[in-house]
Structure 1
Amino acid sequence: MKSFKIWAAILIVAVLVAGCANTEKSGGDNTGGNKYEGLTVRLGVQGSGGLNGKAREAKWYEDEFGKLGVKVEWAEFQSGPPMTEAIASNHLDFAGLGNMPIVAAQAADIPFKVISQLLEGKNNVAIIIPNNSTLKTVGDLKGKKIAVAKGSNAYNFLYRGLAEAGIKDSEVQIIQLQPDEAQPAFETGAVDAWATWDPYITLNTLTGKAKVLTDGEQLGVLSPSFQIVRKDFADKYPELVTLYLKVFEKARLWEDQNLDEALNRYATERKVPVEVIKGTIVRSKTINTPVSDAIIAEQQKTADFQFEIGNIRKKINVSDVFDNQYVEEALK
């Protein structure tokens, strides 16, 4: 009987050791080696339709991530700052947004990485004025009411433009409005100017509601947009970051190769003429590229300026958040 108990104990120990070895071999989980078990990827977009609308309808992300057992959820936002807030609270994994929200997020110690460049930044942000406005230069904005979404890339563009013109922010009336609030305020004359981004620039200029007072190319202030990922997600699943960018590139190439179809699709979504959409694409052509040293240097200018005027509380080194490895791998 004593011999039987000894052999039983040995058998139990052997089973436990084998179990531990198998667990270590499968990556430390007990789900048959699938480290994505129960994982949902949350993708943030600004508005509905457009390039992301095609990808959502075709379920390109769902199909590719689904092959790995990963689910996909979409979340819509009006501007960049709410996106970085969602990333800070672990409610969002990926987002595409402008340069200023990224600077503010880094200064607030929100953990993220910039993984590719979305827009060049020359013409996608502008200050627009009513078509019948007599304003000629940024200097003419002194004493005027200007709508802008706080913390957006247009917010940075506006303040840098005012500084270039020698206008203090106390010498203008900044009205902080999201696009859905700014549009009626602009149309009714409640504000004299609107610092905004595309598609709002093109939608208003090509429909005869507005004209451009100045944009990035004229002012010499770039407003590039980027794709970012929550840092913890990237650290855990670098291969999924690359996969995300591969699917995005598929969507971008679809637009390039099916431009007429894309233009008609976007025009129908926004209920505007195709010519308006053509103007939007010319002004804000989507790219998906590694971020150059020159763009990072421009981003540093934005960060330094925002610190000087007190919009962020500490100096930051913007290069700390840029990581091109994922997009370089995705584009191979």
Structure 2
Amino acid sequence: MVKKYNLIAVLLVLILVVAGCGSANNNAGNGEDAKPVESSSNPNASYDDVTVKIGVQGKGGLFGKAQEQKWFEDAFGELGVKVEWLEFQSGPPMIEAMTSNHLDFAGMGNMPPISAQAAGINFKIISQLLDGKNNVAIIVPNDSPIKSIADLKGKKVAVTKGSNAYNFLYQVLQKAGLDNSDIQEIQLQPDETQPSFESGKVDAWAVWDPYITLNTLSGKGKVLADGESEGVLSPSFQLVRSDFANDYPELVTLYLKTFEQARQWEANNQEEAYQRYADERNIPIDLVKGIQSRAAMINIPVSDETIASQQNTANFQFELGTIRKEINVADVFDNQYIEEALK
């Protein structure tokens, strides 16, 4: 049984441990103004007064290790480029910072980029961070009589509006032949939902990790459906500000190459990494391991299949009215940088 601990701290661990599979041959959305990547250290480039602004969600985790070891500072410093770290709580404010040229790189789930693209904000998705199969789910209490999505009809389902879980919930309902009105939607933030879930005030909860792992490991809940079982993905991506990528394509490649080196450190030193993450937030290491099993970080080109899934999500959000115009998501995907970084 997992001991009681601060839920907000646990949430931060997920954000930190996860920054967030496909073919390596998709250059969708390059656009005519995109500069081809020539090198991760172009000796002819001018970097006078250039500072790379990297966004992170919370403190610690893999990026905390990277900051401690100065991996990014050393890599960019060889070119005379400075590094600035900026902390955020979620994806939407990262998008806002990119819009005002105050942020160059950020990792986030699949919903904020869709809203940003529909709003005409210029950015590129340059790699995939999570495959999106298990990091979002619908959970029910362990003793719940609910056995299928169809059983949710007439039930109280908690969800955070605008989140990946919100998109997941309604796509899953649609697949099961249920209308939006067939459930009683309870709009709550996760820290508000937890006590309601434990007390039985809600029948089900559409949510992301660490709340999935928290409740399943503690015996309070079980997974009714997730992305893998329903074929509804909730991937995460790395984004770059378009103007930055157009001006400094080789620095985008260098960012991804350095991030991959950090990710490889974690993969090759799992026990040390997971213990570090657990100690940072004073939570059980089993919880960290559970989160990692559901949301193992990747850094790969975005496949045609994932782009198609993202398009389905965008189309669905347009139908729901959460975005005001139809978009072609392929326009913002650009795999050239990650392909160069992984050579």
For 2:232, what is the secondary structure of its paired residue?
Answer: coil
Q: How far off its partner does 1:180 sit?
A: 4.3
SS in 2 for 1:298: helix
Question: Bigger relative contact order, structure 1 or 2, given CA contacts below 8 A and separation 6+?
Answer: 2
TM (norm. structure 2) is 0.80
The aligned runs of 1:176-325 (5 Å cut-off) are: 176-187=187-198, 189-325=200-336
Q: 1:327 aligns with which of 305, 314, 338?
A: 338
Corresponding residue to 1:90 among 79, 101, 119:
101
Alpha-carbon offset, residue 308 of structure 1: 2.0
Partners of 1:79 and 1:178 within 8 A in 2: no
Q: Deviations over 1:118-152 (max 9, x none)?
A: 11111111112233433222223334443333332
Count of aligned pairs: 300
- Distance of 2:325 and 2:78 partners within structure 1: 43
CA distance in 2, matches of 1:129, 1:230: 39
- How far did 1:219 drift? 1.0
Letter in 1 for 2:298: I
Match of 2:70 among 59, 64, 70: 59
> Residue 155 of structure 1 aligns to which amino acid in structure 2?
Y
SS of corresponding position for 1:251: helix
Which residue pairs with 2:82 in the alignment? Answer: 71
Query: Quick one: which amino acid aligns to residue 71 of structure 1?
Result: K
TM, length-normalised to structure 1: 0.82
Q: Does 1:102 align with 2:126?
A: no
Change (3 A) 1:65 1:145: farther
8 Å Cα contact 1:80/1:152 also seen in 2: no
Say which SS state the counterpart of residue 75 (structure 1) adopts: strand
Q: CA RMSD in A?
A: 2.3
Shift, 1:190, TM fit: 4.9
Matches within 5 A, 1:29-48: 35-48=46-59
Q: Which residue of 2 aligns with 1:26?
A: none
Shift of 1:239: 1.3
* Paired AA for residue 105 in structure 1: A
User: Of the two, which has the highest radius of gyration?
Assistant: 1
Q: Which residue of 1 aligns with 2:163?
A: 152
Task: For residues 233-289 of structure 1, give each alpha carbon's deviation from its aligned partner in whole angstroms, at most 9, with x where no partner exists.
Answer: 111111111111111101110011111111211222233322222222121111101
Return closer, same or farther for 1:82/1:288 CA change in 2, 3 Å cut-off: same
Q: Could you list the per-position Cα deviations for residues 183-230 of structure 1 after superposition, in whole angstroms to 9, with x for gaps in the alignment?
A: 455445554333222233223321223221210011111111111111
How far apart in 1 are the matches of 2:117 and 2:286? 38
Conserved? CA contact 1:81–1:151, under 8 Å:
no
Partners of 1:76 and 1:134 lie apart in 2 by 42
SS in 2 for 1:133: coil
1:162 to 165, 168, 173: 173
Compared with structure 1, are the counterparts of its residues 173 and 86 closer, same or farther at alpha carbon in structure 2 (3 Å cutoff)? Answer: farther
What residue ranges of structure 2 are gaps of 5+ in the alignment?
1-43
- Per the TM alignment, residue 295 of structure 1 is displaced from its structure 2 partner at its CA by 1.2
The alpha carbon displacement at 1:178 in A equals 4.1
| Shift in alpha-carbon separation, 1:295–1:141, aligned structure 2, 3 A | same
Structure 1 residues 306 and 120: CA distance shift in structure 2, 3 A: same
Q: Runs of 5+ in structure 1 lacking a partner? A: 1-32
What per-residue deviation string (whole Å, max 9, x for no partner) do you get for residues 38-93 of structure 1?
33322222333322222122222222223333332333333323322322232322
Identity %: 69
Q: In proportion to residue count, which structure has more helix? A: 1
